[in-house]
């Protein structure tokens, strides 16, 4: 009985210290953000390199090496007047494009193609390089793991637009060429293109 009482007293004495330790626990740093200045306006992308470390790090490498500067948003896919995606990036330019990266499916990252999601364009899984797209409206069929998924792998979400979705929606409804584009992409190529003037990391809030 005496030992139990002493143990309770010791716990009570330690409680303020434990509470202070919990209160002062360091929160995780904010996710990096990229400010993309385009000829249509500013788009700010939050890059989730925690849940999608391979894909997020790849995108940030393109940013840090200024590989997106002077590239374009070149494609708009409209599944409805206010739904679809806009695609941009290096467009397979060999002078700008880095080697392909491993595929990170949404079933692994826990991310999803919600409105404003930023994801990697690809052919087969594991072929993504320097092209990305922004979902306008939810696109769950681009996720992996659903019976209605576009394929078993889905596309790799790595971020979301936190500012400038009005710019993205404007790009979605911008004029397209009726003849440019191969196969199913005919009629989806923007004319004129929307230039990505620059893409830079935003300063950290801590700085």
Domain at 33-201: CATH code: 2.40.100.10
The per-residue pLDDT for range 85-118, each reduced to its tens digit, is 999 999 999 999 999 999 999 999 999 999 999 9
**pLDDT for the residue 5:** 46
Q: What pLDDT score was predicted for residue 12?
A: 42
CB-side neighbour CA atoms (13 Å) of 157: 27
pLDDT in tens, 145-197: 999 999 999 999 999 999 999 999 999 999 999 999 888 889 999 999 999 99
Contacts of 101 (CB under 8 A, 6+ apart): 54, 55, 58, 120, 126, 128, 129
pLDDT of residue 205: 64
Give the span between the Cα atoms of 190 and 188, in whole angstroms.
6
Instruction: Please report the sign of the dihedral spanned by the C-alpha atoms of residue 142, residue 75, residue 79, residue 83.
Output: positive
Number of H helices, E strands in the chain: 4, 8
Report DSSP state, residue 176.
Answer: B
Contact 45, 161 (CB under 8 A): yes
Q: What is the dihedral of CA 36, 42, 48, 52, to 10 degrees?
A: -60
Q: Do residues 129 and 90 make contact, with C-beta atoms less than 8 angstroms apart?
A: yes
Between 88 and 80, the more confident residue is: 88
Local structure of residue 149 (DSSP, 8 states): -
Q: Is the pLDDT at 28 greater than 60, yes or no?
A: yes
* Residue 44 DSSP label: E
Binned at pLDDT 50, 70 and 90, residue 21 comes out as very low
CA atoms within 13 A on the CB side of 151: 9
Q: What is the pTM of this model?
A: 0.86
State pLDDT tens for residues 36-61.
999 999 999 999 999 999 999 999 99
Q: How far apart are CA 121 and CA 193, in angstroms?
A: 18
């Amino acid at each position: 009985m005496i030992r139990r009482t002493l143990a309770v007293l010791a716990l009570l004495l330690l409680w303020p210290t434990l509470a202070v330790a919990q209160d002062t626990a360091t929160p995780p740093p904010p996710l990096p953000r990229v400010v993309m200045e385009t000829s249509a306006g500013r788009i700010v992308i939050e890059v989730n390199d925690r849940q999608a470390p391979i894909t997020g790090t790849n995108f940030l490498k393109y940013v840090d090496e200024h590989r997106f500067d002077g590239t374009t948003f070149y494609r708009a896919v409209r599944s409805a007047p206010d739904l679809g995606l806009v695609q941009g990036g290096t467009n397979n330019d060999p002078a700008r494009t880095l080697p392909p990266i491993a595929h990170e499916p949404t079933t692994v990252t826990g991310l999803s193609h919600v409105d404003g999601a930023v994801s990697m364009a690809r052919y087969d899984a594991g072929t993504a390089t320097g092209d990305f797209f922004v979902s306008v409206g939810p696109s769950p069929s681009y996720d992996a793991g659903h019976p209605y998924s576009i394929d078993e792998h889905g596309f790799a979400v790595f971020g979301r637009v936190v500012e400038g979705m009005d710019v993205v929606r404007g790009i979605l409804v911008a004029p397209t060429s009726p003849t440019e584009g191969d196969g199913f992409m005919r009629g989806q190529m923007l004319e004129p293109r929307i230039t990505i003037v620059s893409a830079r990391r935003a300063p950290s809030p801590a700085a």
